[in-house]
A = this chain, B = another copy of it.
Amino acid sequence: MKIVKPALLKGFDQEYLPQQQLQFNALLDVVRRNFELYGFLPIETPSAELKDVLTSKGGTEKEIYALARLAAGDDQDEAATRGALRFDLTVPLARYVAMRERELAFPFRRYQIQRVWRGESPQARKGRFREFYQCDIDIIGREKLSSLAEAEIPSVIYSVFREMDIGAFLIRINNRKVLKGLLQCHGVPDAGAGAVLRALDKVERESKAAILADVAREGVSAAAADELYGLLSTKRSTDQTLELLSTYAGRNAMLDQGLAEARAVVHAVRGFGVPDAAFALDLSVVRGLDYYTGTIYETTLVGHPELGSICSGGRYDDLASHFTNTRLPGVGISIGLTRLFSKLQEMDRKWVVPRTPAEVLVTTMDPARMDAYFAFARGLRAAGVNTEVYLEEAKLKKQLEYAERKGFRVALVAGETEFAGNHIQVKDLANRTQQDRPAGELVAAVRTILSRYTKAKAD
């Protein structure tokens, strides 16, 4: 028989061993649980959408994978002629809300955790892949949306990453109106604002000279460019930044409005219980996209700035202007979990998550007593304990090696002696200790051992 080499496509290669998958799933669960704690509702959208829908906003065609027929087949299949894979979860959300406007309750708070596909150059080193998970939340208003929604987002981010326990992190927020107002104050015309902001977005990655040159190219005076650079590159506390901005008060309507919003958001973020150590108003947060109109967010791991932002987003004026005339202002963020996970693995974090969902292995020394082994398993499963019965005929030593390799916590052993005394040997595999327990105390004995791991996790 012809053997095909088993391999993966480049960029479609974030595939994990079961132990890694368990760790990844534990992170997904943290994200999901916290999104739900804040009252976000789940949706999922199809992987493929109409090309017209995906390209309605333009500018992303090069990254999109279209679907095609592999072999001559169903000519009626519009997916193969008009379909393409989504490249983010925002365009599908816009299409979803526009289609179901009458059936949804607004403000519509949705979360969505799915894979997206982008035909970019994959760079494993940078954690950039062609297929990856995004975890998004958005709050969508109809015609209006309170700026309190902008303040609530950081409290969700805080709640997620605190429980993820991945070290100190900082939620950096800024306001696009503040940025635009500052540019106007320094004589930058609105038409050039986008380009100037994109240049200034590189404050943390490029030299001052290079950035000033880029800004000057947009017709900004050297003095203004220098002052803008100083504003964005100097680190200040949240209150220092607010104080600095208040010196501009009354000079520019856009800036005044942005400052009022930023003040209200900072006040409410504190009200939502986010400690000052975990967030900062930071003028260097720019977000290149013109899409954003109010508060914008980036989140960085304090010990690992090289990771860049692990959670970003912002406020926008109209989600679905390409699909409906109803104005749908919103605010949202996205966590790129595949990338974050790939980086966390490199950092060799001590993961405090179960290595296996199979907590107990029932070994089977005596093939004639399988019914008794099955009964042990039934009792444990009824008590919610993940249990596997070793089904092959094998020496006990081999069965215990399997238990070790797969990461079980507990192995049960019962042979002639144990059955005669109605006892079971309960082996604690981590401690390499064992105890003989009456069959009736099996569940309690196992629970005592497993509770050690739950406690270790909670501490």
Using a CB–CB cutoff of 8 Å, the interface residues on chain A facing chain B are 1-18, 21-22, 25, 36-53, 55-56, 61-74, 76-80, 82-85, 94-96, 98-100, 103-105, 107, 109-110, 115, 117, 119-121, 130-131, 139, 141, 144-146, 148-149, 152, 159, 268, 271-273, 320-325, 356-358, 361, 370-371, 374-375, 378, 381, 384-389, 391-393, 402, 405-406
Contact = CB atoms under 8 A, between A and B. Distances in A.
B146 A47 contact: no
A115 to B, nearest CB: 6
A437 to B, nearest CB: 21
Given A5-B323, A79-B130, 20 more contacts: A3-B322, A4-B53, A6-B95, A8-B99, A9-B48, A12-B46, A12-B47, A12-B48, A18-B110, A37-B387, A39-B357, A39-B358, A41-B358, A47-B47, A62-B70, A62-B73, A79-B119, A109-B388, A146-B392, A152-B389
A101 to B, nearest CB: 9
Residue among A4, A63, A146 with most chain B CB within 10 A: A4
Contacts of A67: 65-68, 85
Nearest to A381: B37
A105 B399 CA distance: 11
Given A64-B71, A357-B41, A4 B322 contact: yes
A314 to B, nearest CB: 17
A46 B13 contact: yes
Contact of A44 (B16, B82, B152): B16
A10 B321 contact: no
Given A96-B15, A268-B370, A387 B39 contact: yes
Contacts of A109: 358, 388
State the oligomeric state as a number of copies: 2
Kindly list the 4 A-B residue pairs having the minimum CB-CB distance in the complex, ordered from nearest: A39-B388, A39-B358, A18-B41, A36-B357
A156 B256 CA distance: 63
Contacts of A80: 65, 119
A288 to B, nearest CB: 20
A316 B78 CA distance: 35
A52 B7 CA distance: 10
Contacts of A121: 74, 76
Contact of A53 (B6, B62, B320, B371): B6
Given A14-B46, A65-B67, A141-B392, A374 B41 contact: no
B117 A405 contact: no
Nearest to A52: B4
A453 B74 CA distance: 48
Contacts of A73: 61-63, 119
B61 A71 contact: yes
A39 B354 CA distance: 13
Contacts of A48: 9, 12, 117, 131
A392 B43 CA distance: 23
A216 to B, nearest CB: 32
A30 B119 CA distance: 35
Nearest to A378: B273
Nearest to A42: B21
Contacts of A95: 6
A13 B48 CA distance: 10
B322 A45 contact: no
A11 B357 contact: no
A159 to B, nearest CB: 7
Nearest to A1: B321
B358 A392 contact: no
A325 B386 CA distance: 33
A145 to B, nearest CB: 7
A8 B52 CA distance: 11
Residue among A49, A69, A103 with most chain B CB within 10 A: A69
A443 B434 CA distance: 42
B99 A370 contact: no
A131 to B, nearest CB: 6
B9 A50 contact: yes
B47 A131 contact: yes
A47 B40 CA distance: 27
Given A43-B16, A47-B131, A10 B78 contact: yes
B387 A50 contact: no
